[in-house]
Structure 1
């Protein structure tokens, strides 16, 4: 009798933001909300990417997307800030450095 053993079912692994990454993103988000620039956000955890989307109004398309793609760590960089039009505004392996592109917009909003 030939019995085949099947490996146990494993759900596809999802990509998530770590607590320190979320703290950096939510810190910036809070400052932008206080400046009146942003009003809502959404978080998606998918198989290949984690996305933090920022909205001016809930019913609109996101103003910005902060994406984490660990598979791109050695190629293009794992973090990216993407504008409403799909243009990559900043890419890098250090999240805080990538978020600086949005912090500059905060400085302009306060001036």
Structure 2
């Protein structure tokens, strides 16, 4: 008689990449400030097998102005965080979320000053 071992659900490799609570709080804080400045109107979050993506839109019906991507597979190479512009160019990449968000923070400062 052979025993059959059934794996516990959720064990092993996760099926999708997600943002942790502090990461999402930091991103949503920036999003809220951009909305208050009148620049962003909508957002979308996508959780996939290789990346979690937060997209921020000026208008709902267009391409996102910025995408913030978390790709854990790149953690030891370029860094798992990336800021991607409207046309798909990587604007900033790094190990930590704060420096990757810096270009958007600077843009926010310019919007508030005007």
Tell me if both proteins adopt one fold, taking TM over 0.5 as the criterion. Answer: yes
Structure 1 equivalent of residue 45 of structure 2: 43
Q: Deviations along 1:49-78, whole A, 9 cap, x unmatched?
A: 000000011111111100000010001100
Match of 2:96 among 87, 94, 97: 94
* Structure 1 moving runs of 4+ over 2 Å: 5-12
Return the offset for 1:6. 8.3
Aligned mates of 1:88, 1:97 — CA distance in 2: 14
Structure 2 unaligned residues grouped into runs of 5+: none
Structure 2 equivalent of residue 31 of structure 1: 33
TM-score, normalised via structure 1 length? 0.89
TM-score, normalised via structure 2 length? 0.87
| C-alpha RMSD over aligned residues | 1.9
Structure 1 unaligned residues grouped into runs of 5+: none
Structure 2 equivalent of residue 80 of structure 1: 82
**2:56 aligned with 1:54, yes or no?**
yes
Q: How many residues align?
A: 110
**2:15 aligned with 1:17, yes or no?**
no
